[in-house]
Structure 1
């Protein structure tokens, strides 16, 4: 489904040049749950951003469903990203002044969907993560685990084919982290492809495949 061919990415400033990832060959198959592991600063998040089309490679190519991204214009890439991927972050990134249901609706604002349909889809996504009773709450009225479940609902509200999760349990205690992991595994069992960055070996052992990254390269 997603294929990276000899992908490299270098970040440059006036004084420093940093090679974040180098010569990455990676194929994520439809329906897989892949865990990416490695020490801090090794390039995992950069690799996740490249997979999710949030960034472009400096060298190499990325294909989605066999089509190279270079064939798409910027607006087409943005549309593909919005419709194909859902993103979950360690720090939740919820908007504190918006109610839970309004936070979940946000990705749908970029689609030609009526307000009524947006609200219906947001309610359904929140029901999937057992937060149907929290629609009108604000993020600061929720626990950390509940906030991450809201973030998952936001990520799945557009029914993406792929979920990309960057340390989704990193700010949670073990009980809440296990609940979030259970939700991701359930979504995967229902057909959603998941790629997750994690430092937790126990979490990684629960998925289909572990990809290890070191100094910007994949290692066996």
Structure 2
């Protein structure tokens, strides 16, 4: 499904060269639930960004479903991201001036989807996370756990094959965090490939596989 071959990533400034990742070889199979763990600054988020085509490697190749993408242009990569991936972030990244239903519809605006179909898909996505009654609310009228569920609905509204989650429970209490994990596990059971960055060992152990990163390298 997703394959990294000898991938390295270096960030360069005028005075400092920072090696974020070095010589990463990784295969994530269709239908897996993979957790990525490691200390702060070890390269976890950089790895997730490369997996989700939000960044390009300095060296090596990224393949999605067998397709080599290193020569693709930005527009083609953007289309691939929109079609293939759903993204969930620790800070939700909802637009407070838009209603919940409008936030969830956003990814569909970049597709040739009618207004009626966008609405139907957004309603289905919100129903799947138990928020049908909150469609007309605004994000600042919701709890943190509810906002993260809206973010999950937004990530899933385009029916992506792969869901990438960066610390999805990091800003939530234990109860709300468990609710979010239950949703992610259910989505995985329905066939969605899930890759999650987390500091929470308890949540990581609920996934099918744990990948550990230290100083930009994969460790056993």
Which residue in the other structure is 1:42 paired with? 42
1:140-151 aligned within 5 A: 140-151=140-151
Which residue in the other structure is 1:63 paired with? 63
Cα separation, 2, equivalents of 1:136 and 1:190 = 28
Q: Does residue 162 of the first structure (1) align with residue 162 of the second (2)?
A: yes
Which residue in the other structure is 1:195 paired with? 195
Aligned residues: 220
After superposition, the CA RMSD in angstroms is: 0.6
Cα separation, 1, equivalents of 2:215 and 2:118 = 42
SS in 2 for 1:199: coil
Which residue in the other structure is 1:217 paired with? 217
SS in 2 for 1:36: strand
1:30-109 aligned within 5 A: 30-109=30-109
Structure 1 residue 17: deviation in Å? 1.1
Q: Does residue 176 of the first structure (1) align with residue 176 of the second (2)?
A: yes
Alignment TM-score, normalising by the size of structure 1: 0.99
SS in 2 for 1:125: helix
Cα separation, 1, equivalents of 2:57 and 2:184 = 28
SS in 2 for 1:18: strand
Structure 1 residue 71: deviation in Å? 4.2
Cα separation, 2, equivalents of 1:57 and 1:185 = 29
- The runs of 5 or more residues in structure 2 that have no matched partner are none
Alignment TM-score, normalising by the size of structure 2: 0.99
SS in 2 for 1:70: coil
1:105-144 aligned within 5 A: 105-144=105-144
Say which is worse superposed, 73-82 or 53-62, in terms of deviation: 73-82
Structure 1 residue 75: deviation in Å? 1.3
Deviations 1:9-30 (A, max 9, x none): 1111111111101100000000
Cα separation, 2, equivalents of 1:111 and 1:71 = 23
Cα separation, 2, equivalents of 1:13 and 1:109 = 36
Which residue in the other structure is 1:19 paired with? 19
Segments of 4+ moved more than 6 angstroms: none
- The runs of 5 or more residues in structure 1 that have no matched partner are none
